[in-house]
């Protein structure tokens, strides 16, 4: 019975820009030639901005999603088999010196934390 209750107690939280997971939204709104203003209106403020020596600018958007494993809530078992599954999505947008999109790229990394078994 305790295991069944624990399975229902899993938690999920996310931080960051949820739009960067939507590939269709990205391809329509962050296409080559779009301006910084158009990107800003679509996605809001970036998480980070970097600049190159040749005048290019890169905007980074990040989203982290954490799902707590159900085993985390089982007494004693949670100490060795608990933890969380973490997914990080990133969107990099490269602008030229005329403030238009040159290209963009996305990454998706899955990992875990807190368990010696996963």
CATH for 86:
3.30.1450.10
**pLDDT value at residue 56:** 96
The number of distinct structural domains making up the chain is 1
Tokens representing 78? 């949670």
All residues at 6 or more sequence positions from 23 whose CB lies less than 8 Å from its CB, including other chains: 106
Q: What range does the domain containing 93 cover?
A: 14-113
Three-class secondary structure of residue 74 per DSSP:
coil
The terminus-to-terminus CA distance of the chain in angstroms comes to: 25
CA-based nearest residue to 91, from 106, 110, 70: 106
Q: What is the pLDDT along the chain (118 residues), one digit of tens a residue?
A: 444 444 444 567 767 778 888 889 998 889 999 999 999 999 999 999 999 999 899 999 999 988 877 655 556 555 556 677 888 999 999 999 999 999 999 998 887 666 555 4
Is there a domain that residue 1 lies in? no
Is there a domain that residue 71 lies in? yes
Global pTM? 0.72
Say how far apart CA 79 and CA 24 lie, in whole Å.
41
């Amino acid at each position: 019975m305790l295991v069944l209750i624990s399975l229902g107690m899993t938690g999920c939280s996310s931080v960051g820009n949820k739009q960067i997971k939507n590939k269709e939204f990205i391809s329509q709104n962050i296409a080559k030639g779009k301006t910084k203003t158009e990107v800003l209106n679509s996605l809001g403020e970036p998480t980070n901005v970097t600049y190159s020596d040749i005048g290019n600018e890169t905007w980074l958007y990040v989203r982290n999603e954490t799902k707590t494993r159900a085993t985390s809530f089982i007494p004693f078992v949670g100490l060795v088999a608990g933890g969380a599954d973490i997914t990080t999505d990133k969107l990099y947008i490269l602008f030229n010196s005329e403030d238009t999109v040159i290209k963009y790229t996305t990454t998706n990394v899955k990992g875990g934390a807190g368990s010696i078994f996963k």
